[in-house]
Structure 1
Amino acid sequence: MPRFHCPEPLTPGAELDLPPGAARHVQVLRLQPGDTVTLFPGDDPGGEFDATVLRMGRSDVHVRVDAHRATEREAARAVHLLAGITAGERMDWLIEKATELGAASITPLVAERSVLRLKGERADKKLAHWQAVAVAACEQCGRNRVPPVHPAVTLAEWLGTNAAPVDGGGRLLLSLRPGTRPLRAAAGGDGPLWFLSGPEGGLTPAEEALALAQGFQPTTLGPRVLRAETAPLAALAALLM
């Protein structure tokens, strides 16, 4: 059954117009009145709703909200990803796959070696695009909670508002420095976890030192050097699957 994100209050028996993006998708699928779809709000109260198409307009689709299902497909552990912004479409791919794998939130990191620099209106548009990528990934993979994609920040800016481990959670830094611990050993426990990885070329020594001073522990994924968009996904898969 087609699934659509509908960030509006959903109540069984209510009738509403689908958001423009979902309506366009229904039109493309050539659904007809009487066909059923699945809607999910993306946040509280969670779960998903059956819905029936009542009317197809030229650009709008009117539906009736039916039964609610308290179905959740979230990972047992909250892992928050801080990922250095990668070049081109690689960041889109990273956000899409991180959402599918179950990341609790995603913070694009403007690292010293990041090629892409975002400011002002361009930053706002890119953030909206990345959040839409996460929404589409939830529609595809079955998640009923859309992970927030936070505004892009530097590591210093993030640490300025997150100076201490949150809720007793752990902090891990993907690093090639000597003395790193394997991921599974470093990530012991089941509390929330913040995982930091850099862009192409990795974090600079100064950035690593800053992270280590704020409680991040260095960890490794093994002897091979993975690409910037591959490494955080490998970590999420190991932690959440």
Structure 2
Amino acid sequence: MKRREALFSLGALIAAPVAAKKANAEVLHGYPQDMALDPNFLPKTIKRGGARAFLTDDREVKTLKAVFDRFIPGDDLGPSASEAGCLDFLDAQLSGAFGEGASVYREGPAQPHEEQMLQKAQFIATPRERYRTGLKALETYARKTDGASFADLQPNRQDEILSGMEIGEIDLGKDVNTKAFFELMLMNVREGYFADPLYGGNKDMAGWKMIGFPGARYDYRAYTDRTGQELNLVPVSLIPKD
């Protein structure tokens, strides 16, 4: 086939679906009346303060609460991380697909040069396992260096330990990538504080109110010309109305 013929043939193929679509539209007499989503595909609302699936050890909960509340302490601008439901958020995440590392490649080989090449470490352990190991190691470190549980230390000392973890001056042991564990906790507390309340955190949409985010509204076209202006919109959550 010559090049000119090939181009004409391609044009015919492109034009054909248009004609067919027009013809089919003439014989289309109805459409599905029930357009509601299957409830099984809708996210489930997380209930705060109820029985937890993963964070069931009191020592782990106390340690994690202390860490989260140093990351986001309560003040005049809003509640602390734990008051906003970040522990409930994390429990739900660790109990599900995130916790089991469903979307993360965890097979070998995990070589030392991987972190240098990818700018982040490869983890064979799941986030669920990393939390369990990391919280235990943090508690062990606090008791060894300060003679007390991490949750019972003074806030300034807690900050010193967390800062040391962040910059790599503190090592929680061979079983923990200390800096990466710090980053994991910081990422998750941020997610819990600013995610839709449907997922357990951001209680009363406090995080959204703090930054002026209007939430999960259907349409923002009426405000597209008001960039940088205070909209004073009441935040809207994905939690279904009764």
Same fold (TM over 0.5): no
| Greater per-residue strand proportion | 1
| Greater per-residue helix proportion | 2
Query: Considering only CA atoms, is the larger Rg found in Structure 1 or Structure 2?
Result: 2
